[in-house]
Structure 1
Amino acid sequence: MLIRTADDQDWPRIHPFFSAIVAAGETYAYPEGLSLEAARPWWMEPPPGQTVVAVEGDTLLGSAKMGPNRPGRGSHVATGSFMVDPAYQGRGVGRKLGEYVITWAREAGYHGIQFNAVVETNTAAVRLWQSLGFRIIGTVPGAFNHPRHGLVGMHVMFHRL
């Protein structure tokens, strides 16, 4: 599996699983039903951040975006978001993308990585991030309207670099 910087030709290949994950309503609070062009700025991160893809040969397995969590005086802490095509979940793609983002942030001189909104019912992601050194530093109760569980919390998770 190769992790590389996403290019303009990758976005039309990311958009189908981006749309499917958003439409499922279980992990992201992005607006639903975004067209190819309307969704692009929600995922394709401009510098100083970047968006990457995980590929095996010609198959795009997943994607991550990363960059400063806040501008100005908060720009020493990174953030990231991750999506794995549901057809390829359970194959370690999320872990590889997570490891890539941690290495990228460390090499870029960030002091830590903060995830602002990890849905508490997304237990696979919570376990993955904890196994990579993140800890839950707080939970906003009822911050996410889950389609099956109703109002659930969103964790703020942090990894000191």
Structure 2
Amino acid sequence: MIIRQVQPGDEEAIWQILSPMLKAGDTYALPRDWTREQALTYWLAPEKQSFVAIKDGRVTGTYYLRANQAGGGAHVANCGYVTASWAAGQGIAKAMCAHSLEAAREAGFRAMQFNLVVSTNLRAIGLWQHMGFVTIGRLPGAFQHHEQGDVDALVMFRHL
């Protein structure tokens, strides 16, 4: 697997990964009806470093890395990861997370924080725990799950 920064021409492959995630509405606090342009503008925003994971010549996942906050919080990184639905279970998210931890260290970040991990996303929670993240907070009913109603969200953190 190769993980590299996004290059011109990657946009359609990224959209093909983001679109089903947005429509599902069960892992990210993003509008389910976002257009291709809106989603790519968010994912590839200038304040983010965006990456793709390539396996067997196909883009199988994407992630971004950014400062979690400005000013006094700028030493803590934040990431968002999405694996293509057809590539689930192949270690893509784990590889992207490992890559992001190293990229964050290289960029001078001292920690990484996930601000809103949906409590029903058990696969992601298990992976983040495996990668050294701990739950430092639980936000009751903070995520409107389109099928399960209001569910909790976790704040997860690890030092780099």
Structure 1 position 82, deviation (Å) = 0.3
Please tell me the residue identity of whatever aligns with 1:44.
L
Q: Is the 8 A contact 2:22 2:34 kept in 1?
A: no
| Corresponding residue of 1:106 | 105
CA-based RMSD:
1.1
Structure 2 CA distance, aligned partners of 1:35 and 1:85? Answer: 18
Q: Is the 8 A contact 2:24 2:32 kept in 1?
A: no
| Corresponding residue of 1:15 | 15
Structure 1 position 148, deviation (Å) = 2.4
Q: State whether structure 2 residue 46 is matched by structure 1 residue 24.
A: no
Structure 1 CA distance, aligned partners of 2:32 and 2:114? Answer: 21
| Corresponding residue of 1:156 | 155
Structure 1 CA distance, aligned partners of 2:117 and 2:71? Answer: 24
Q: Is the 8 A contact 1:19 1:33 kept in 2?
A: no
Q: Which consecutive residues of structure 2, in runs of 5 or more, have no partner in the other structure? A: none
Q: Which runs of 4+ in 1 moved over 6 A?
A: none
Structure 1 position 112, deviation (Å) = 0.2
Q: State whether structure 2 residue 40 is matched by structure 1 residue 58.
A: no
Structure 1 CA distance, aligned partners of 2:103 and 2:53? Answer: 15
Structure 1 position 147, deviation (Å) = 2.2
| Corresponding residue of 2:83 | 84
Structure 1 CA distance, aligned partners of 2:36 and 2:9? Answer: 12
Structure 1 CA distance, aligned partners of 2:65 and 2:82? Answer: 12
Q: Is the 8 A contact 2:3 2:96 kept in 1?
A: yes
Aligned-residue identity in percent? 37
TM-score (structure 1 length as normaliser)? 0.95
Task: Deviation per CA, 1:54-98: give whole Å up to 9, x if none.
Answer: 002431100000110011221100000000000000000000000
TM-score (structure 2 length as normaliser)? 0.95
SS of equivalent to 1:121:
coil
Q: Which consecutive residues of structure 1, in runs of 5 or more, have no partner in the other structure? A: none
